[in-house]
Amino acid sequence: MTDLHEHQYLSTTRDVYKEAALTPDVGLCCTTTPVWQLPELSIPKRMLAMNYGCGSTVHPRDLVGQPKVLYVGVGGGMELLQFAYFNRQTGGVVGLDVVDEMLGACRSNLAEAEASNPWFKADFIDLRRGDALKLPIESNSIDVAAQNCLFNIFRDDDLKQALAEMYRVLKPHGRLILSDPVCDQAMPAALQDDPRLRALCLSGAIPLQQYLKRLTDTGFGTIEVRAKRPYRVLSPHHYATDQLIHIESVEICAIKDPMPADGPCIFTGRTAIYYGREELFDDGKGHAMTPNQPLAVCDKTAAALQRLGRDDLYLSASTWFYDGGGCC
Ligand SMILES: C[S@@+](CC[C@H](N)C(=O)[O-])C[C@H]1O[C@@H](n2cnc3c(N)ncnc32)[C@H](O)[C@@H]1O
């Protein structure tokens, strides 16, 4: 990609989100993920209309103990408000964006939220100008970092840079929560290179395995694929493609755990169940199973158990809905 094109895709992204800040576009990143309903949480209408994410990055189990949160690419501020719901500290959630109009819209949505949510103070959120590619944040200072529907827009080198930045600012064992479209089919070059379609989160989607590799290449030792849902279909009637292209949205948590010597632990919803005659089955590598009790296992462990060739061990396929448990 030439410098000219490089510049064009980043500037088109800013133009698209300037437009989306000034005139809310409810269909922009619409998804089937339900919006959180939480006691005493009221989301202003305009903030809801500016929900430009393709999933959720807010999960209560990541948010115990008032972790310091960084959220990059703020949109209308809905997820900032949801993170603040759990954090409730002055400056506990930092929100960054490069589009001034989006920061302005977000700020006014948060002011409206302050009026309708007695528990919420706008200064819980430290809203600032800042670029995902060069975070104005100290290294090793963040417990939970999140981005929703931004990194898919980036070309590969920028994606690597954005992930490296998130990794840098996280504390050891800190969590990066991501929600993005992915696509296992080949995306035609004409679509990939269309800056507006990229900005609209339609043509920058990469295969899930490549997305996971970018995360583990960055250094994250544990990965959880928490959700995968149908997201969009690009049809030849509307786009420069000769076949239907199916896009899914994923929610992933990448944890800054040390990289295990035998490779990353990637949880995709695989489960092992021992149903033999012994009281306990122990693989000698930290996985002890009592009969007929499910154990969530990472893909690496599932593959190792499979290689044992036992006829008293059930191994499920990936459900792509991993929400707890662990083996490594
Ligand atoms: C698809 S919207 C998602 C907004 C929000 N995360 C949500 O879920 O509603 C992408 C957001 O990223 C912002 N953005 C674009 N380029 C950025 C960059 N390089 N660094 C930080 N934010 C950026 C846009 O202004 C916009 O707010």
146-158 tens-digit pLDDT: 999 999 999 999 9
Tell me the chain's radius of gyration from C-alpha atoms: 21
Reported pTM: 0.96
User: Residue 56 to residues 228, 238, 252, 283: CA-CA distances in angstroms?
Assistant: 11, 28, 10, 36
Q: Are 260 and 221 in contact (CB under 8 A)?
A: yes
Q: By three-state DSSP, how is residue 101 classified?
A: helix
Residue 55 Cα to ligand 1 midpoint, Å, equals: 14
Residue 299 Cα to ligand 1 midpoint, Å, equals: 32
Residue 218 Cα to ligand 1 midpoint, Å, equals: 21
| Range list of β-strands (E), 83-192 | 93-97, 125-129, 142-148, 170-182
Binding-site residues, ligand 1, Cβ < 6 A = 13, 17, 29, 51-53, 72-75, 78-79, 96-99, 102, 131-133, 148-150, 201
| Range list of β-strands (E), 149-285 | 170-182, 222-234, 245-255, 265-267, 270-274, 281-282
Residue 139: DSSP 8-state: T
Rounded to an integer, what distance in angstroms lies between the CA atom of residue 17 and that of residue 100?
10
Q: Is the domain 3-255 a CATH 3.40.50.150 member?
A: yes
Q: Is it the case that residue 175 has pLDDT exceeding 80?
A: yes
Rounded to an integer, what distance in angstroms lies between the CA atom of residue 113 and that of residue 214?
36
Q: In what order do the strands lie in the sheet with 142-148?
A: 125-129, 93-97, 69-72, 142-148, 170-182, 245-255, 222-234, 265-267
Q: Which residues of 290-324 are buried (b: 16+ CB within 10 A; e: fewer)?
A: eeeeebbbbbbbbeebeeeeeeebeeeebebebee
The predicted structure's pLDDT at residue 3:
53
Residue 73 Cα to ligand 1 midpoint, Å, equals: 3
Rounded to an integer, what distance in angstroms lies between the CA atom of residue 287 and that of residue 120?
44
Residue of 10, 52, 169 to test ligand 1 pocket, by largest number of atoms within 8 Å of CB: 52
Q: Are 77 and 102 in contact (CB under 8 A)?
A: no
Residue of 22, 35, 94, 99 to test ligand 1 pocket, by largest number of atoms within 8 Å of CB: 99
Rounded to an integer, what distance in angstroms lies between the CA atom of residue 200 and that of residue 195?
9
The gap from C-alpha 187 to its chain's centroid, in whole angstroms, comes to 21
Residue of 97, 100, 133, 179 to test ligand 1 pocket, by largest number of atoms within 8 Å of CB: 97
**Mean per-residue pLDDT, 96-110:** 98
Q: Which residues of 57-79 are buried (b: 16+ CB within 10 A; e: fewer)?
A: bbbeebbeeebbbbbbbbbbbbb
Residue 302 pLDDT grade (very low, low, confident, very high; cuts 50, 70, 90)? very high
User: Residue 270 to residues 46, 169, 265, 273: CA-CA distances in angstroms?
Assistant: 39, 30, 12, 10
Residue 274 Cα to ligand 1 midpoint, Å, equals: 45
Q: Which atom of ligand 1 is nearest to the CA of 57?
A: 8
Backbone conformation region of residue 246, classed left if phi is above 0, alpha if psi is from -120 to 50, else beta: beta
Q: What residue ranges do the domains of the chain occupy?
A: 3-255, 269-315
The predicted structure's pLDDT at residue 26:
74
Residue 68 Cα to ligand 1 midpoint, Å, equals: 20
Q: Is it the case that residue 66 has pLDDT exceeding 70?
A: yes
Q: Which atom of ligand 1 is nearest to the CA of 132?
A: 20
The tens digit of pLDDT for each residue in 254-273 reads 999 999 999 999 999 999 99
